[in-house]
Amino acid sequence: MTHSRPADLPAAWAGTAVTVVMPTYNEAANLPRIAGLVLALPLPGLHLKIVDDSSPDGTGRVAEELADAANSGGRRRMSVLHRTAKDGLGRAYAAGMTAALDEGAAFIVQMDADGSHPVHVVPQMLGTALATGADFVVGSRYVDGGSLAEDWGLHRRLLSKWANFYAGTVLSTRIRDITAGFNLWSARTLRDVDLSTLGSAGYSFQVELKFRATRIGHNGVEIPIRFEERTEGVSKMSFGTQIESALVPLRLRLRNRD
């Protein structure tokens, strides 16, 4: 795995209220390491919110222990939102992002708990949004400089590229990595979209949110990342979520034929 030094931001920018929303399900083996990396970022205004779907492996308990340790200095740096049912990544993100908005976050970052997203890029994402005025920033695998880990097999590479081509073509979007799950959003954009109106329960939440945001006039910027293979555990991508991911772009296109 590649480790790089996070970008240094001006103090005023580094202190921006940013919440990293990280859904978890059976990620007890990954969470301590990834939470430590996030909380070590040079962003005094950063808060980490874990959204756990009653993981049977005890991820929620691990998250609470990590939060207790992170908050021992007097500042609330980490929190845990416990959900009683596993009803999809998209709904977990919507719940966590809504809570972060209610708590006053100016920007919200979506990040997986499996180690596939490069934590050190978060300050760059924030700096890009503040410097350019972008409403959202996509950590992209498919712009110049972006890449996938070598241990991704040919089948997965082709499937990922096809999914982006398919969704992008159906929705007529210029976003190169519309399925990306590593994104930074301004609070204003998320409020304008209204997370409660999104219909996607699974991974297609990523597509629907970007489409809806650009549809109502918000602009995004893509920056290159290297997407790693998860370090522990197994993927949560089921056949049902793959079917949903294929149908959602068609549904969105039909609803927005103008």
Closest to 47 in 3D by CA, of 73, 25, 21? 21
Stretch 79-83: mean pLDDT: 97
Confidence of residue 239 (pLDDT cuts 50, 70, 90): very low
Tens of pLDDT, residue by residue over 162-189, are 777 777 777 778 888 988 999 999 999 9
Alpha-carbon distance of 126 to 110, in angstroms, equals: 12
When the pLDDT of each residue in the chain is averaged and rounded to a whole number, the result is 87
Q: What's CA 19's distance to the chain center, in Å?
A: 11
- Least-confidence region, from 9-23, 68-82, 120-134, 201-215: 201-215
Cα–Cα distance list, 132 to 164, 186, 213, 220 (Å):
25, 12, 17, 10
* Token pair for 21: 């929303």
pLDDT, position 74:
84
Q: What is the pLDDT of residue 171?
A: 75
- Residue-wise pLDDT for 90-100, tens only, equals 999 999 999 99
Q: How many CB atoms lie within 10 A of CB 204?
A: 29
Q: What pLDDT, in 10s, does the model give residues 19-50?
A: 999 999 999 999 999 999 999 999 999 999 99
| Residue scoring higher pLDDT (87 or 136) | 136
Residues facing residue 107 across a β-bridge:
18, 186
Would you say residue 251 has pLDDT above 90? no
More confident residue, 242 or 8: 8
**125's tokens:** 């994402």
Q: Quick one: which of 37, 80, 87 has its CA closest to 59?
A: 80
